[in-house]
């Protein structure tokens, strides 16, 4: 599946992902700026926050309770479409997924 990351500068980066990989790992592997993944994908750091574009929200689904709390405590603005990228596992169903990367993630 392809994933498109849109930076806060408006630059779009389309990358090829593997089924079963998550949106944070895929970003790191491809050097996408703005996604840090400090905890290594353990749903505990919120430095992989992304905003999922509208048309993919149903397919991606809502964050779990712990994830939602982390999003609220994070640096980036929480939105209805916020998810932690490490908690989105890619499948063919999500091919073409577009996410916006927040401007800062320390």
Question: Could you list the residues that contact ligand FES (CB under 6 A)?
Answer: 24, 37-39, 41-48, 84, 86
**Least Å from the CB of residue 44 to ligand FES:** 6
> How open is the CA angle 36-102-6, to the nearest 5 degrees?
95
**Least Å from the CB of residue 13 to ligand FES:** 18
**Least Å from the CB of residue 37 to ligand FES:** 4
In this structure, what are the phi and psi dihedrals at residue 59, rounded to the nearest 5 degrees?
Answer: -65, -35
24 vs 98, which CB is nearer to ligand FES?
A: 24
| Burial zone of 54 (CB within 10 Å; 0-12 exposed, 13-18 middle, 19+ buried) | exposed
Contact (Cβ atoms closer than 8 angstroms) between residue 47 and residue 38: yes
10 vs 85, which CB is nearer to ligand FES?
A: 85
45 vs 52, which CB is nearer to ligand FES?
A: 45
CA distances from 81 to 29, 30, 60, 87, 105 (A): 24, 23, 10, 13, 17
**Least Å from the CB of residue 40 to ligand FES:** 6
10 vs 70, which CB is nearer to ligand FES?
A: 70
């Amino acid at each position: 599946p392809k994933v498109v990351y849109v930076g806060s500068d408006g630059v779009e980066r389309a990358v090829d992902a593997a089924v079963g990989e998550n949106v944070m790992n895929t970003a790191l592997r491809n050097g996408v700026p703005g996604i840090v993944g400090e905890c290594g994908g353990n749903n505990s750091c919120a430095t992989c926050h992304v905003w999922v574009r509208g048309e993919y929200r149903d397919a991606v689904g809502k964050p779990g309770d712990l994830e939602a709390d982390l999003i609220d405590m994070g640096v980036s603005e929480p939105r209805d479409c916020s998810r932690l990228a490490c908690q989105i596992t890619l499948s063919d169903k999500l091919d073409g997924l577009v996410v916006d990367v927040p401007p800062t993630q320390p």
